[in-house]
């Protein structure tokens, strides 16, 4: 029998209901695993064992009373960009060191209502800006499949803890790829919902027209279970949708015979690792074997996604981060004048990548440049969205890589921002178009580093993603439960 921390959410939920285990036992098993793997992985800025055990005891009482929601008593982790009442929320920045929100984010509240157990707040790139979690001002998170390599980013801690077994699921945020790319690099399932599917209220804003919260889990169905808990209208986020939330778990198990899948020509580029391309092509063949039809499609404006994102995102960053002035938020630095105090606070509190983006955005929005950069980028964004609209007239979903490479070594891209930005070439376009995307493990390279398959669906068609990904997962052996032996942490000294 597998260890308790290795169960899926579904298996654990059954074991809790038949009384085979208690949530306190389950939580203790996860906390023990966390203690065994954290020295190597460093996924958490702050583990919360006391909160977890108190939550588990409360969950046990609720389970005994009957009629508890599926996530009741299940240990999960939150990216440290998501507000947790009374629990430090740093955004990976010194600017918010010691900040304890007086409220819970909407998604946190949803999980609390479901009776989940919080095991900790996970590491991330500072203010979610990065693709490797290396811009965190707290610590370096390691990839559990390759401790010399990054876990991806910006939600690197959330991906790594699920891969390592120190949480059953976690939440991340995805602005340009920050759930999908780390899911790919850490060999777990990660999904970014349609923009507006999940409330952003209480999630520290990076680029508001792009940010979405979404789950990481070890299986597709577990991921579906978490999204079901998060999705839906919240009056406090005007962009959240009141569309009914379908049962995403029911979509897992639907036959994919007859579905049409598009393989975009522009997503197979020079510079992508051969092992990645081979795994993606093999995955497409596998899906065809399950009865889907694959057709080549074109998304002609794909190459403009990266420059468009790197105008729109910094513009929104420069506006959103203006509030961190050391007065209302932040760690104040004294100065002779108010302006000097602001400047010193922002100079000391923000790291280099954050400052770079604030400066880029402020420049692009300045009088005289606004039309040439920001307005033009918005027009190109529309063209990118139209590419997808046209493609979805022909196909039910798009199948493509999530990242051009597997996990890369620490430091490999830190001195070259453009190389780092290129990590997201395959995720940015769907973000700009507001589309849902899901990454499911689809192979390993020669060094046993995971490779992820990205699926993209039309707006509000998350069900299609779960349907296709689940069928793929069930017919292959790439998912984490079957590949634990490849983990390089927590194996009694194997790290």
| Residue 463 interacting with ligand GLN (CB under 6 A) | no
- Is 181 or 279 the residue whose CB approaches ligand GLN more closely? 181
Per-position x/- string for 416-455, each x denoting binding to ligand GLN as judged by CB under 6 A, each - no binding: --------x-------------------------------
- Is 356 or 484 the residue whose CB approaches ligand GLN more closely? 356
Contact present, 312 and 289 (Cβ < 8 Å): no
Least distance CB 193 / ligand GLN (angstroms):
13
- Is 174 or 325 the residue whose CB approaches ligand GLN more closely? 174
Quote the DSSP letter at residue 413.
Answer: T
Choose the binding region for ligand GLN from 125-133, 163-171, 242-250, 319-327 (rule: CB under 6 A). 125-133
Contacts 24+ apart (CB under 8 A), 83-90: 83/108, 83/202, 83/203, 83/204, 84/108, 84/118, 84/121, 87/46, 87/48, 87/51, 87/118, 87/121, 88/45, 88/46, 88/121, 89/121, 89/204, 90/45, 90/121, 90/138
Choose the binding region for ligand GLN from 129-137, 195-203, 319-327, 409-417 (rule: CB under 6 A). 129-137
Q: Which of 135, 134, 96 is nearest to 349 (CA)?
A: 96
Least distance CB 154 / ligand GLN (angstroms):
4
- Is 69 or 130 the residue whose CB approaches ligand GLN more closely? 130
- Of 83, 128, 159, 311, which one interacts with ligand GLN (CB under 6 A)? 128
Dig out the tokens for 98 from the structure. Answer: 């010691």
Contact present, 78 and 167 (Cβ < 8 Å): no
- Is 69 or 437 the residue whose CB approaches ligand GLN more closely? 437
Least distance CB 178 / ligand GLN (angstroms):
3
Choose the binding region for ligand GLN from 58-66, 170-178, 293-301, 397-405 (rule: CB under 6 A). 170-178
Please state, in angstroms and rounded to a whole number, the distance separating the CA atoms of residues 318 and 150.
27
Least distance CB 128 / ligand GLN (angstroms):
4
Least distance CB 431 / ligand GLN (angstroms):
7
Query: Could you say which residues in the range 312-351 bind ligand GLN, by CB under 6 A?
Result: 313
Please state, in angstroms and rounded to a whole number, the distance separating the CA atoms of residues 77 and 37.
15
Dig out the tokens for 318 from the structure. Answer: 């420069």
From the centroid of its chain, how far is CA 97? 22
| Residue 84 interacting with ligand GLN (CB under 6 A) | no
| Residue 129 interacting with ligand GLN (CB under 6 A) | yes
- Is 437 or 443 the residue whose CB approaches ligand GLN more closely? 437
Of all residues in the shown chain, the one whose CB is closest to ligand GLN is 178
Task: Enumerate residues 6+ apart whose C-beta is below 8 A from 257.
Answer: 290, 291, 292
Strand, helix or coil at 111? helix
- Of 144, 151, 176, 190, which one interacts with ligand GLN (CB under 6 A)? 176
- Tell the burial category of 254 from Cβ atoms under 10 Å away from its Cβ (0-12, 13-18, 19+): middle
* Strand arrangement of the beta sheet that strand 169-174 belongs to: 44-47, 117-122, 75-79, 169-174, 212-217, 189-192, 437-444, 450-456, 397-401, 260-264, 293-297
- Of 84, 133, 137, 175, which one interacts with ligand GLN (CB under 6 A)? 175
For 272, left (φ over 0), alpha (ψ -120 to 50), or beta? beta
Q: Is 79 a catalytic residue?
A: yes
Q: Is 154 a catalytic residue?
A: yes
Catalytic residue among 22, 132, 154, 479: 154
Strand, helix or coil at 170? strand
Choose the binding region for ligand GLN from 42-50, 168-176, 375-383, 482-490 (rule: CB under 6 A). 168-176
Q: Is 166 a catalytic residue?
A: no
Q: Give, to the nearest 10 degrees, the angle between helix 23-41 and helix 156-164.
A: 120
Please state, in angstroms and rounded to a whole number, the distance separating the CA atoms of residues 439 and 192.
9
Least distance CB 155 / ligand GLN (angstroms):
7
Per-position x/- string for 191-220, each x denoting binding to ligand GLN as judged by CB under 6 A, each - no binding: ---------------x--------------
- Is 91 or 252 the residue whose CB approaches ligand GLN more closely? 91
Please state, in angstroms and rounded to a whole number, the distance separating the CA atoms of residues 337 and 19.
63
Please state, in angstroms and rounded to a whole number, the distance separating the CA atoms of residues 204 and 323.
11
Would you tell me which residues interact with ligand GLN (CB under 6 A)? 128-131, 154, 174-178, 206, 313, 424
Active site residues: 79, 154, 178
């Amino acid at each position: 029998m597998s260890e308790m921390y290795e169960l899926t959410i579904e298996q654990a939920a059954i074991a809790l209901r038949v009384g085979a285990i208690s949530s306190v036992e389950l939580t203790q098993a996860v906390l023990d695993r966390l203690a065994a793997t954290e020295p190597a992985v460093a996924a958490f800025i702050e583990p919360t064992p006391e909160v977890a055990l108190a939550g588990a005891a409360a969950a046990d009482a609720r389970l005994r009373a009957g009629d508890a929601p599926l996530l009741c008593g299940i240990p999960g982790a939150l990216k440290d960009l998501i507000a947790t009442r009374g629990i430090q929320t740093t955004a990976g920045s010194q600017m918010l060191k010691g900040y304890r929100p007086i409220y819970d984010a909407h998604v946190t509240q949803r999980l609390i209502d479901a009776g989940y157990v919080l095991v900790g707040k996970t590491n991330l790139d500072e203010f979610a800006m990065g693709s490797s979690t290396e811009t965190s001002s707290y610590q370096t998170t390691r990839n559990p499949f390759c401790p010399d390599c990054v876990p991806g980013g910006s939600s690197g801690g959330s991906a790594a803890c699920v891969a390592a077994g120190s949480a059953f699921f976690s939440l991340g945020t995805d602005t340009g790829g920050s759930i999908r790319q780390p899911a790919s690099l850490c060999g777990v399932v990660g999904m970014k919902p349609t923009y507006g599917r999940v409330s952003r209220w209480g999630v520290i804003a990076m680029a508001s027209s792009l940010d979405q919260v979404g789950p990481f889990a070890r299986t597709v169905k577990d991921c579906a279970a978490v999204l079901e808990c998060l999705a839906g209208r919240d009056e406090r986020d005007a962009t959240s949708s009141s569309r009914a939330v379908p049962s995403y778990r029911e979509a897992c198990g639907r036959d994919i015979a007859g579905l049409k899948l598009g393989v975009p020509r522009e997503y197979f580029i020079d510079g992508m690792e051969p092992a990645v391309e081979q795994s993606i092509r093999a995955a497409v063949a596998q899906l065809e074997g399950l009865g889907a039809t694959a057709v080549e499609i074109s998304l002609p404006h794909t190459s403009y996604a990266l420059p468009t994102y790197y105008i729109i995102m910094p513009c929104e960053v420069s506006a959103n981060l203006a509030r961190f002035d050391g007065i209302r938020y932040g760690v104040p630095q004294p100065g002779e004048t108010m302006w000097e105090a602001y400047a010193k606070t922002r100079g000391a509190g923000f790291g280099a990548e954050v400052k770079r983006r604030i400066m880029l955005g402020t420049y692009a929005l300045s009088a005289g440049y606004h039309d040439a950069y920001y307005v033009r980028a918005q027009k190109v964004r529309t063209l990118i969205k139209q590419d997808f609209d046209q493609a979805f007239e022909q196909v039910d979903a798009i199948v493509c890589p999530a990242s051009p490479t597997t996990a890369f070594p620490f430091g490999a891209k830190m001195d070259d921002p453009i190389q780092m930005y290129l990590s997201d070439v395959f995720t940015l376009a769907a973000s700009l178009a507001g589309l849902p995307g899901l990454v499911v493990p689809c192979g390993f390279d020669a060094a046993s580093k995971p490779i992820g398959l990205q699926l993209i669906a039309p707006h509000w068609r998350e069900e299609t993603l779960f349907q296709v990904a689940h069928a793929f997962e069930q017919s292959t052996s790439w998912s984490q439960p079957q590949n634990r032996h490849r983990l390089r942490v927590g194996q009694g000294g194997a790290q």
